[in-house]
Amino acid sequence: MGDRARNAISLIDLTDLADDHSGAGIDALCARAAEHRTAAVCVWPEFVERCAEFLAGTGIGIATVVNFPKGNQQVGAVLDQTLTALSDGATEIDLVMPYKMFRNGDVKPTASLIESVGDIIAPPGVLKVILETGELPDSAAIRSASELAIGLGADFIKTSTGKTPVSATPEAARTMLEAINNADRIVGLKPSGGIRTVEDAMIYLDLAAEIMGPDWATPTTF
């Protein structure tokens, strides 16, 4: 395995958000993460506690998803999901932005949800806001969503849930990186969905190097 492939593996949130997920599959996921030293695992909320116990002491992050995958749950339910996940041992919360509302121009309630979830994640917890870029109409909308999430304190902005026809694309990632580059603090990027090979990963790593610099992509930023 080449150095670039090893580096890419160290940045991965090894994920199982399949609809037919099982406890045995989650254990196997955690074992692979521990063996290959990925940055984190990302699982459904009901498996957070199981992963936290399996990976205790490894330094591997435990990520989970809320308001997932459609971004249309009530605020109270999303906050309850977040609080439970944090109590169970989640270190990272991947929040689906209410992208349909945002797409329709309802920016205030979109912002309110992001801000409310962010308010209950205490450092060193991480908030990753999923923009669902494949459901936004153009690069201008992706830029606006990126700037909104960054302005409300997102630690990362993430392209996609992986549950829509269009997931991560280099074009969307470029727009998001440009917004990150203009931020007045450190913000990370999480390309997600459809990235399956070393070659796929290199497209995004090369893009990050082009826009942010060759040493920017680390587990705390990418």
- The C-alpha atoms of residue 89 and residue 164 are separated, in whole angstroms, by 28
Candidates 13, 88, 128, 158; catalytic one:
158
Q: Please provide the DSSP assignment of the chain as one string.
A: --HHHHHHHHT-EEEE--TT--HHHHHHHHHHHHHHT-SEEEE-GGGHHHHHHHTTTS--EEEEEESTTTS---HHHHHHHHHHHHHHT-SEEEEEP-HHHHHTT-HHHHHHHHHHHHHT--TT-EEEEE--GGGSSSHHHHHHHHHHHHHTT-SEEE---S-SSS---HHHHHHHHHHHHTSSS--EEE--SS--SHHHHHHHHHHHHHHH-TT--STTT-
Active-site annotation holds for 128: no
Catalytic residue among 190, 200, 206, 215: 190
How many whole angstroms separate alpha carbon 99 and alpha carbon 71?
6
User: Known catalytic residue: 158?
Assistant: yes
Active-site annotation holder among 13, 88, 94, 155: 94
Active site residue 94: yes
The set of catalytic residues is: 94, 158, 190
